[in-house]
Amino acid sequence: MSNNTTGLDGVVVAQTQLCHIDGQKGQLIIKGHSIESIANHYSFEQAASLLWHDLSNLEETPELIQQGLAQARQFCFQELSPFFQFGASLPLIEGLRMGLSRLSDTNKLPHHYLTTAAIAVLIPALLRIKKQLKPIAPNPAFDHVADFLTMLKGIFTQEEHRALTTYLVSVSEHSLNASTFTARVIASTQAGIISSVIGALCALKGPLHGGAPGPVLDMLDAIGTSDNIESWLHNELLSGKRLMGFGHRVYKVRDPRANVLKEAVSLLQQSSHHPRLELAEKVELAAIKILKQHKPDRLLQTNVEFYTALLLETLGIPRGAFTAIFSTGRVLGWTAHIMEQTQTGRLMRPRAEYIGTMD
């Protein structure tokens, strides 16, 4: 079978020290640490330090990263503010893509800081303008997540800070998914971090990759109440549609990030009485059972996006912003892979099998 039909399934195209996934056992290891051991314990800066360490010519301690990101957020807010109004007239992910394109390769700030900061500044600013609110400037005294929440909402609780941190750390790195692969291909041409991150964001935009959590909420809305679950799911599958938040190219068991995020949603729910979790748990159980009936030869389980949707909704983030928020965490992995590729890799230039006509 040609790679056209396999979607490069199982093809090894790079070596990495960043991440190992065992899709049969449901294990995700980031630089030697299981996702369960870091997601609820690391700060954003500690996750950045873990991923970036030894890949740049900087000392990547969490403290220095906090300072560097604070400085980069301030720069980005100033530099990108003339674009905010126009950017906010576009769908958020497009506004983000255009905003990143305004960063120059000649910028003196380290580009892994610059891109990470730009994403964290653009999303809240564009979302606030969409709601007719004034953007809030970053505060250099805050850590990355606290500053992001402040720029987004003005005030936030410690529980919200922990939940968002857990989410961002959980999605920070996941080996050669479509967007990270894209980033590595671009990096292999030595186009630089900014271009590689923009390319990765474009790959993330699609509904089969980062675009699923919004539709997960649409699904819960459409189901509405527990007594509709089974008939709704059956109908969806009978009409040839996919159930969003289920299935994964690598995991053939439950995505380990689903557990971590479900726990984070429950903790958050205790403080804000979110009513959705109970319905979601029932939908999850029914979906796995019904997917098994409809696709008996496939192993389709819950993926990261299912509980991502609930977590981000509980944080008051609009569903149209979910894919963009994903990039706030994943940019750590993208930039680490870009730097790793630049240090160790060769130009990526695969071949296609010609199946056209000959004279």
| Measured distance CA(92)–CA(122) in Å, rounded | 9
Q: Residue with structure tokens 């990547």?
A: 60
Which residue from 26, 110, 199, 210 is in contact with ligand ACO, where contact means CB under 6 A?
Answer: 210
Out of 60, 236, 305, 340, the active site residue is 305
- 337 is a catalytic site residue: no
Q: Is 295 in the site for ligand ACO (CB under 6 A)?
A: yes
Q: What is d(CA 359, CA 344) in angstroms, rounded to the nearest whole number?
A: 42
Tokens for 20?
């190992």
Contact residue for ligand ACO among 93, 244, 283, 332 (CB under 6 A):
244
The region of 143-151, 158-166, 181-189, 239-247 touching ligand ACO under the rule CB under 6 A is: 239-247
Paired tokens of 34: 């299981």
Return the closest-CA partner of residue 178 out of 30, 29, 326, 356: 326
For 206-321, where are the alpha helices, taking DSSP H only? 213-223, 229-238, 256-272, 276-294, 304-314
CB of 199 to ligand ACO, least distance (A): 16
Alpha-helix residue ranges (DSSP H) falling in 28-110? 35-38, 44-52, 62-87, 92-101
Check binding of 304 to ligand ACO (CB under 6 A): yes
**243 is a contact residue toward ligand ACO (CB under 6 A):** yes
Nearer to ligand ACO, 147 or 313 (CB): 313
Compute the least distance from the CB of residue 215 to ligand ACO, in Å: 8
Distance CA 320, CA 192 (A): 29
For residue 255, the minimal CB distance to ligand ACO (Å) is 7
- Smaller CB separation from ligand ACO, 133 or 208: 208
Burial label for 8, CB within 10 Å (0-12, 13-18, 19+), is middle
Name which of 88 and 258 has its Cβ closer to ligand ACO. Answer: 258
Q: Which of 234, 249, 254, 282 binds ligand ACO (CB under 6 A)?
A: 249
By CB under 6 A, residue 222 contacts ligand ACO: no
Catalytic residue among 248, 274, 313, 340: 248
HSE of 56, CA atoms in CB hemisphere, 13 A: 21
Closest distance of CB 305 from ligand ACO, Å: 5
Contacts 24+ apart (CB under 8 A), 234-240: 234/290, 234/294, 237/290, 237/291, 237/294, 238/294
The region that residue 245 occupies, defined by phi over 0 for left and psi between -120 and 50 for alpha, beta otherwise, is left
Task: Give how many residues touch ligand ACO by CB under 6 A.
Answer: 20
Candidates 18, 169, 185, 212; binder of ligand ACO (CB under 6 A) is: 212
Rank residues 160 and 305 by Cβ distance to ligand ACO and give the closer one: 305
Q: Is 353 a catalytic residue?
A: no
Give the angle 89-92-94 at the CA atoms, nearest 5°. 85
Residue 306 Cβ vs ligand ACO, minimum distance, rounded to whole Å? 8
Q: Binding to ligand ACO by residue 26, rule CB under 6 A?
A: no
- What sign results for the dihedral spanned by CA atoms 85, 309, 168, 299? negative
Nearest to 262 by CA among 157, 163, 169: 163
Q: Contact with ligand ACO (CB under 6 A): which of 26, 135, 214, 245?
A: 245
Specify the residue, 102 or 252, whose C-beta has the smaller distance to ligand ACO. Answer: 252
- Interface residues with ligand ACO (CB under 6 A)? 7, 177, 208-210, 212, 242-249, 295, 298, 300, 303-305
Which residues are annotated as catalytic? 248, 305
